Amino acid sequence: MSEFYSVSMSGGKDSTALALWMREQGLPHVRIFADTGWESPVTYAYLDYLEERLGPIERLKPKESFTQRLLRLGTWPARSRRWCTKDLKVYPIRDWMDDFRLPEGYTSLVNVVGIRAEESAKRATFREREWSDDTHCYVWRPLLRWSLADVLQIHRRHGVKVNPLYQQGFERVGCFPCIYAGKLEIRLLAEEYQERIDVIRDLERATGNTMFALRRPGSDEHIPTPIDDAVIWSKTVHGGTQLTLVRAPSGCARWGLCETAPKDGEDV
């Protein structure tokens, strides 16, 4: 069986490492990006940069953007119903794959994703290769056993920088922000991208619902929290009561990501 591959890109370090590895291996593939419409402008610019370095990345658009769907439903994604992932990423990828015409000589399309086991306990249980009912094809996770050091090393080897959001200290570069954003990410958002806080505030007023539900200290209960209160909370130390004036460490300090910047004259 002759396989052709679709590489799912997010603008994050792992999917970029995957794209670089696929190119190193000489495996036939296309690169795709499921655009929710809720990404950071920095990530969109980074994807343009990756296209210059790697080649085309097909942008997949859902029928409704994140904001359009939010306003129609009147409710934000939640832990119990993450419509952002299914409706804006998984289903557009599935539809694209169903319609994809394989190049001559190939018999199947495999979706390749840059998931790593060390990212979470759940991802550590994933198989490297398995059938996906969501996308109607096999999914392959060739980086499953890679370490963060492996990911950064392949960036360095090809002189490809990571998404600048990492250097700013963000841990996620997908939805901006994700409903699972933690204290550090909300704080960085307020410090560096106040305009996004303003957008969230307007959307909360329009829907009558809050984006974040923060856990009550000392319990497992999550309380709907308006964005301005979430920002105040993000500036507190453990327990959420005492303000701290210490600025969050940069991505360079925490992960050594500044070392992945390309050297003069280097190319892919």
Q: Could you tell me the residue ranges of all domains in the chain?
A: 3-161, 167-253
Per the document, the length of the chain is 268
Nearest partner of 38 among 184, 172, 167, judged by Cα: 172
What are φ and ψ of residue 263, in 5° steps?
A: -80, 160
* Secondary structure string (H, E, C) spanning 1-55: CCEEEEEEECCCHHHHHHHHHHHHHCCCEEEEEECCCCECHHHHHHHHHHHHHHC
Taking residues 139-150, report their average pLDDT: 97
Burial per residue of 160-170, b for 16 or more beta-carbon CB atoms within 10 angstroms, e otherwise = bbbbbbbbbbb
Burial zone of 186 (CB within 10 Å; 0-12 exposed, 13-18 middle, 19+ buried) = buried
Q: Which CATH number fits domain 3-161: 3.40.50.620, 3.30.499.10, 3.40.50.450, 2.60.40.740?
A: 3.40.50.620
pLDDT of residue 264: 44
Model pLDDT for residues 242-257, shown as the tens digit of each residue? 555 445 555 554 555 5
Rounded to whole angstroms, the Cα distance separating 64 from 87 reads: 9
Looking up tokens 């086991």, which residue turns up? 117
* H runs (alpha helix) in 133-222: 148-158, 164-168, 183-192, 194-207
pLDDT of residue 252: 58
pLDDT of residue 240: 55
By the 8 A CB rule, do 239 and 212 touch? no
* pLDDT band, very low/low/confident/very high, at 221 (cuts 50, 70, 90): confident
pLDDT of residue 257: 57
> What are the beta bridge partners of residue 8?
32
pLDDT of residue 172: 85
* pLDDT band, very low/low/confident/very high, at 81 (cuts 50, 70, 90): confident
- pTM equals 0.88
Is the pLDDT score of 164 beyond 70?
Answer: yes
pLDDT of residue 266: 45
